[in-house]
Structure 1
């Protein structure tokens, strides 16, 4: 089995104003999607997905990470990251999950940006033009709510019924004007309330 890639799609979004207030530092979010044939579609229930996937997951991860880093202008610019996969109607959610949750795939991204946080994710089923959401978090601090952001994109002709769309997302910042504090502030406040 090898991945048959039909197309590679890049998406770039730059936000300059949020809530009517401009920013001195725009935030750029980038999505890099690979549209590939689902190697398990049409084969019935395939018991051993991992052994078929493992020899090829690293190559896909390496390709996608390189292109994503090039699109955003360097690994050092990435503050928040995430991943997503959408399987077409003839596939299982497990097929989409298998690709993005394989460490041979994801470790390329984590290592390239020296991340400490896990890669947040979504996986779902959809047809051509379906909305693809890539949830992201700070690569080093899972509690930094300022970097809980979501890149949303779609590809008009993907996924076809026998395809999987695999996406990596990156952001060079968090929301423009974060004001809700970190998760740690809530934990401290809750602990203080319970102590009273």
Structure 2
């Protein structure tokens, strides 16, 4: 059975001034959110989560991706991206993880924006109005620090104890006035292999 969606939300924020200085290019961040009934609610400890993952994740990925693309004006406009989930207090963190850590969810977004890097993520448990953190990174370059961003917001009435909040995030642009370089500069200075960033 597809996800039982109670409501969806679209959050858009534009940063025009940062550090007291006007941003030459404003940063736009977008979050597409669905509040769903936890498909494992009331079932006790479920050993095999796969049936519900297959039922729910693809539709959620498609829906939230569509919301992001419409708000951004197309996949080519998205520069940074990420995903997040909060499970309500009667659920397991594994339930939040299950629905976002499957290619059946994330690949809708990756393919729509032409991404090469992995989707940054956060999965937590909390009550209604718990902070929803959506970490973002450049969709094609994991070492581009200008696009290391985190959206923070909350849904006043979600998640209920038997719900999950599922979200995708996007940025158009990076941090205004970014000036900390990138990982490749550090790798060169520290004698690491730029082609193998895990070497340092």
C-alpha root-mean-square deviation of aligned residues, in Å?
A: 1.0
Give TM-score scaled by structure 1 length.
0.95
1:81-100 matches, cutoff 5 A: 81-100=81-100
Q: Distance in 2 between matches of 1:73 and 1:153?
A: 22
What's 1:182 paired with?
182
1:1-196 matches, cutoff 5 A: 1-191=1-191
What secondary structure is seen at the aligned counterpart in 2 of 1:169?
A: strand
Q: Distance in 1 between matches of 2:101 and 2:59?
A: 14
- Deviating above 3 A after TM superposition, structure 1's stretches of 4 or more consecutive aligned residues are none
**How far has the Cα of 1:142 moved from its partner?**
0.1
What secondary structure is seen at the aligned counterpart in 2 of 1:104?
A: helix
Q: After superposition, give the CA deviation of every residue in 1:56-100 in whole Å (9 maximum; x if it has no partner).
A: 321211111001111122211100000000000010000000000
**How far has the Cα of 1:50 moved from its partner?**
1.3
**How far has the Cα of 1:123 moved from its partner?**
0.2
Give TM-score scaled by structure 2 length.
0.94
Q: Distance in 1 between matches of 2:26 and 2:52?
A: 42
**How far has the Cα of 1:52 moved from its partner?**
2.5
**How far has the Cα of 1:167 moved from its partner?**
0.5
Change (3 A) 1:2 1:55: closer
Where does structure 1 lack aligned partners over 5 or more consecutive residues?
none
Where does structure 2 lack aligned partners over 5 or more consecutive residues?
193-200
Q: Distance in 2 between matches of 1:89 and 1:19?
A: 37
User: Is the Cα–Cα contact under 8 Å of residues 39 and 52 in structure 2 kept in the other structure?
Assistant: no
What's 2:195 paired with?
none
Q: Distance in 1 between matches of 2:93 and 2:23?
A: 39
What secondary structure is seen at the aligned counterpart in 2 of 1:127?
A: coil
Q: Distance in 1 between matches of 2:26 and 2:171?
A: 11
**How far has the Cα of 1:130 moved from its partner?**
0.7
Q: Distance in 1 between matches of 2:24 and 2:122?
A: 31
**How far has the Cα of 1:55 moved from its partner?**
3.4
